[in-house]
Amino acid sequence: MLSMCFISLISIWLNGLSSLIFCSALWSQC
C-alpha cells in the first residue's frame, strides 16, 4: 500500500518535472 503511494508520488513529480523542462524549452525558443 505504501509503495503504491510512493510510486504515484514519483510519477506526479516526474510529470511536473517534464512539463517544467518543456516550458523552459519553449521559453528559450522565443
pLDDT value, residue 4: 86
**Amino acid code (one letter) for 30:** C
| Closest to 5 (Cα-Cα) out of 18, 20, 13, 17 | 13
State the DSSP code for 13.
H
What pLDDT score was predicted for residue 28?
A: 86
Q: Which pLDDT score is estimated for 26?
A: 87
Instruction: Provide the residue-wise pLDDT of the chain in tens; the chain has 30 residues.
Output: 688 889 999 999 999 999 999 889 888 887
